[in-house]
């Protein structure tokens, strides 16, 4: 279950953010799919958690959008993490309409549990 944090310039249009919000769950699922956690194209509750926040007055950075993805470490994910990150960045650029995008893919050793 990836957790996705999106920090954006407050001047990014709501319409652009809406498109990005609609695109990210599927795009992230494709970016992190692996034999241990296959993606069948159907998202269920708890599969992806996406959070948006505008960059605050004390935040520092020059990119319009930064997407941080945290998903459980598996060797098959780690082997190709840069390619996965690059593909996701390209999708975010296309969905958001800006080239000023950064994507950070973190694969920590972790566990996940959720209720029904």
Q: Structural domain of residue 66, as residue ranges?
A: 3-106
In a domain, 116, yes or no: no
Residues in the chain: 116
Domain count across the chain: 1
What CATH code is carried by the domain that includes residue 97? 3.30.429.10
In a domain, 112, yes or no: no
- Could you say which DSSP state residue 65 is in? E
In a domain, 111, yes or no: no
In a domain, 13, yes or no: yes
Contacts for 38 with CB less than 8 Å, ≥ 6 apart: none
**What are the pLDDT tens digits along the chain (116 aa)?**
799 999 999 999 999 999 999 999 999 999 999 999 999 999 999 899 999 999 999 999 889 999 999 999 999 999 999 999 999 999 999 999 999 999 999 998 877 787 77
In a domain, 53, yes or no: yes
Neighbouring C-beta atoms of residue 49, cutoff 10 Å: 16
């Amino acid at each position: 279950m990836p957790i996705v944090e999106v920090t954006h310039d407050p001047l990014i249009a709501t319409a652009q953010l809406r498109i990005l919000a609609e695109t990210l769950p599927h795009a992230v699922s494709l970016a992190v799919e692996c034999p241990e956690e296959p993606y069948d194209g159907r998202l269920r509750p708890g599969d992806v958690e996406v959070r948006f926040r505008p960059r605050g007055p004390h935040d520092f950075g020059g990119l319009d959008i930064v997407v941080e993805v945290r998903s459980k470490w598996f060797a098959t994910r780690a082997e190709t993490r840069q390619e996965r990150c690059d593909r996701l960045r390209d999708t975010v650029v296309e969905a958001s309409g800006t080239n000023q995008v950064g994507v950070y893919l973190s694969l920590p050793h972790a566990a996940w549990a959720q209720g029904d």
